[in-house]
Amino acid sequence: MSQTGPLKSGDPAHGHQAKIGRTHKDSQPWWPPTPGRRGPNIVFVLLDDLGFSDFGCYGGEIHTPHIDALAGAGLRYTQYTTVPMCTPARAALMTGKNPHSVGCGWLTHALPGYPGYQAGAISPDAPTLAEMLRSAGYGTYGVGKWHNTPDYQATSGADKSSWPLQKGFDRFYGFLGAETNFFSPGHLINGNEFVDADTYPADYYSTDDWTARSMRFLRGHVTNDAERPFFLYLAHNAPHVPLQARPEEVARYDGVYDAGWDAVREARFERQKRAGLVPDDWRLGDRSPGIPAWDDVPPEQRPLMARYMQIYAAMVEGIDRSIGEISAELKRLGVWENTLFVLTSDNGASSIGGPGGSANIFEKRVTQKENPALAREMLESGTLGGMNSYPAYPVAWAQTSNTPFRFYKRTPMNGGIRVPFIVHWPAGIADGGSLRQQWVHATDLLPTVLDLLKMDYPLQHQGFKTRGLDGVSFAASLTQGNHPSQRDRQYYELEGHRGYRLGPWKAVSLQPPAQPIDLDRWMLFNLDEDPTECKDLAAARPDKLAELLAAFEADAARFNVYPLDNRDNRRVLAVPDPMRRLANSPRDFWPGTETYSPMLVSPLVGDRDYRLSCEFDWQPGQSGVLFAIGDSFNGLSAQVREGQLQVVYRASPTHTHAAQVALQPGPQTLELLHKAMGNREGRAKVLVGGAEVGEIDTTPTFLRIAGEGMDVGRDRKRKVIPGLTPGDPHAYPGQIRRVRIEPGPQAPGSIVNRLESEVQLD
């Protein structure tokens, strides 16, 4: 039946205002108005675990000419504070909200069942800066480290609502987790997909990769529409552990740190005073507890201690090279003048290396033990800082990085929260090279951008009421050096450590990990008189302490800070209660996929009994890897070579245990019957066709699989089995039907795979 009545114009629900007739001649088109350019381009570069004094322009001896030039034409803030750990700091920066209020009170490893601690996933009622800028017409690009996706969602088939593209980015390239190997990342994400890479180029280094990808995104954006503004969020994982850098770059710092941490720290402090970064009457705080004087370090240990800092310095210089390349690209594209460029760190330098540093911090985290022989061997062989090392520098160098402050990342002392903050904007800053003394906090970046763009914060987001911002704009300070600070108070909390600043007064409570929390243990500092927090006034000013504690309690209730949680790494090794079934059920792994996530494999094999079976066919002449779990630091693999089936357990980078047997042509079934006996001791019987053919030692047993997960039919990237060339996945050419892991009981007394709700301190 033909239509004879008048036609209606476009659906008003979609806002279309075209007049539609029966023919083109009788119709009147309409297009929504093209938005004009709104505000500057924005480049936000976030570094990872970098201290207040590491840049040359903040007093450091590390070679950072491009960063120094950025500061020389921009502004250096000297009272910027952040949140003392990765995930919460990123949430605060991205949302303008205190991290507990958006579910990011701790890392992505744990889901304890409380609103302030949602495994690092930003709550849906808190729009990110990327989401708001995209709604304003910006192109939005993320590169590097994300670390706001729960570990159990960092898999190809998981809910992706917390992944970057779902949080406002048009394009993303990087990784989701806390850290990765700089020469061989365990996984890479491009958009919403894992990058299915067997190998990396021989000269690969992630800092350079992030830089190149950022420039690629910028070129594509400007070529498409040079008038449309963009937002680039470049989140370097440097200089977070593992400390890794190219040998030739490390060698440039030969001799620089031979005088030791005390001398380097004092020299940085003197440069800071000469530059006006700190007043002449400031006191350089004493060494933090547990840090030896350099003169007390045995002479035979000093070359190793100095080499750790050389690697760190080379990583920071690599960041500077990245800043130089990004800056040059912005100039080449003609957008430099009206680009707001912000450079800072997520928190202060990290103390995780402990008094003597570590050559393999991954293992040390869970065992609390260091292998001095491994460190010496890697130093002598020149492999420390390379792909197959996983170093962290000694805590004394962390204190040096945080000069003039005391303590480190994880704490609300100034060493954990005072970091560099550089703002560069040729079109918006008239007094380049100046210092700014205003107190600015991590939550203040987003409201400042909204202020500059004359944008209102949304009242609703994804169907939720947004509850407003916690940060305040510091936009006026960009052009007015004497403009008053807009912030006068802020709470801090991480792992039971608490802090509250109100004007010049600051209360701090430090809680030893894995010990009962003392709610009444507090220190009090007057930052006007004692900015390096050396003189505790708690006993002298109980009235002022009581005022700050009352303010902390009010904010703790308002922002979902409680319950305090200072449990040790047992909660990292635990299983979130909702994941119980998946962590204790058999799972099949198939060939022809990307690397399976460590989060899928770890619970099935972590310090427990399990049966692993691999069904495959073999004919003479066929060789290759059947499966590989883990990597060159700790892994389990099976391969066929020259008619021999070889099963290898790699206990550490220098120790392997193997069993092998000759194969007969035809269908094969390999079985590993693993027994975890307690104290991380383990054995695995090797069966082929149901007959026992050998046994391998699996001591120490798996706890949590490191950076790489599981491959079926190949071994990508860093190899479990020695002898494979670095760039060869050694794919198996025959048929592999599947690999199946059937988990059994945990080892007696095991701390792994307990339900998170059951993990309590002894």
C-alpha closest to that of 548 among 594, 491, 606: 491
The pLDDT tens digits of the residues spanning 71-87 come to 999 999 999 999 999 99
307 has pLDDT over 60:
yes
Rounded Cα–Cα distance for residues 371 and 123 (Å): 41
Q: What CATH number labels 41-480?
A: 3.40.720.10
Mean pLDDT over the full length of the chain: 94
In angstroms, rounded to a whole number, what is the distance separating the alpha carbons of residues 385 and 255? 17
Considering the candidates 66, 147, 424, 674, report the single residue annotated as catalytic: 147
Band (pLDDT 50/70/90 cuts) for residue 366 is: low
pTM equals 0.96
Looking at residue 10, its pLDDT comes to: 45
Find all residues with CB under 8 Å of 262, minimum gap 6, and list them.
287, 293, 294, 295
Query: What whole-number percentage of the chain has pLDDT above 70?
Result: 97
Q: What is the pLDDT of residue 6?
A: 43
- Structure confidence at residue 5 (pLDDT): 42
Summarised one tens digit per residue, pLDDT across range 167-188 is 999 999 999 999 999 999 999 9
- Given the residues 57, 63, 66, 86, select the one marked as catalytic: 86
Q: Compute the average pLDDT of residues 542-558.
A: 98
pLDDT tens across 105-164, in order? 999 999 999 999 999 999 999 999 999 999 999 999 999 999 999 999 999 999 999 999
Q: Which CATH number fits domain 491-558: 3.40.50.880, 3.90.1010.10, 3.20.20.70, 3.30.1120.10?
A: 3.30.1120.10
Q: Among 317, 322, 69, which residue's Cα sits nearest to residue 213?
A: 322
367 confidence band (pLDDT: 50, 70, 90): low
**pLDDT(243) > 90:** yes
Q: Looking at the chain, which residues constitute the CATH 3.40.720.10 domain(s)? A: 41-480
How far is it, in rounded angstroms, from Cα 395 to Cα 24?
74
What are the residues whose beta carbons fall under 8 Å from the beta carbon of 63, sequence distance 6 or more? 56, 252, 317, 320
Across residues 538-561, what is the average pLDDT? 98
Q: Which token pair is 312?
A: 């760190």
Res 722: pLDDT: 77
Q: Encode burial over 696-709: b for 16+ CB neighbours within 10 A, e otherwise.
A: bbbbbbbbbbbbbb
Q: Is 534 a catalytic residue?
A: no
What band does 4 get if pLDDT is binned at 50, 70 and 90?
A: very low
pLDDT at 727: 75
pLDDT score for 34? 75
Determine if the peptide bond prior to 412 is cis (ω within 30°). Answer: no
Q: Percent of the chain, pLDDT > 90?
A: 88
Distance between CA atoms of residues 745 and 760, nearest Å: 20
Parallel/antiparallel/unpaired status of strands 339-345 and 41-47: parallel
Q: What is the pLDDT of residue 3?
A: 43
**What number does CATH give the domain 578-758?**
2.60.120.200
* pLDDT confidence bin for 14, thresholds 50/70/90: low
Count Cβ atoms within 10 A of the Cβ of residue 1 and give its class: 0-12 exposed, 13-18 middle, 19 or more buried: exposed
CA distance 252 to 310: 8
Residues of the chain with CATH 2.60.120.200: 578-758
Lowest mean pLDDT among 34-43, 64-73, 253-262, 575-584: 34-43
* Residues 652/701, Cβ–Cβ less than 8 Å: no
Over residues 730-743, the pLDDT tens digits come to: 999 999 999 999 99
Query: Which residues are within 8 A (CB) of 64 and not within 5 positions of it... i.e. 6 or more apart?
Result: 54, 55, 56, 57, 316, 317, 319, 320
Q: Which secondary structure element, helix H or strand E, spans residue 450, and what is its range?
A: helix 445-453
Angle ∠(131,35,219) on CA atoms, nearest 5: 65
Q: Check whether 710 has a pLDDT greater than 80.
A: yes
Q: Is 104 a catalytic residue?
A: no
Q: Between 632 and 399, where is the model more confident?
A: 399
User: How many C-beta atoms surround the C-beta of residue 433 within 10 A?
Assistant: 12
DSSP state of 543: H
Is the model's pLDDT at 589 over the cut of 90? yes
Q: What is the pLDDT of residue 364?
A: 73
Please, is 193 exposed, middle or buried when counting C-beta atoms within 10 Å of its C-beta (0-12, 13-18, 19+)?
exposed
E strand residue ranges, 531-634: 587-589, 608-618, 624-630
CA nearest to 207, candidates 351, 107, 314, 306: 314
**What pLDDT sits at residue 1?**
40
Cα–Cα distance for residue pair 637/639, rounded to 1 Å: 7
pLDDT in tens, 619-649: 999 999 999 999 988 999 999 999 999 999 9
Kindly tell me if the per-residue pLDDT of 12 is higher than 70.
Answer: no
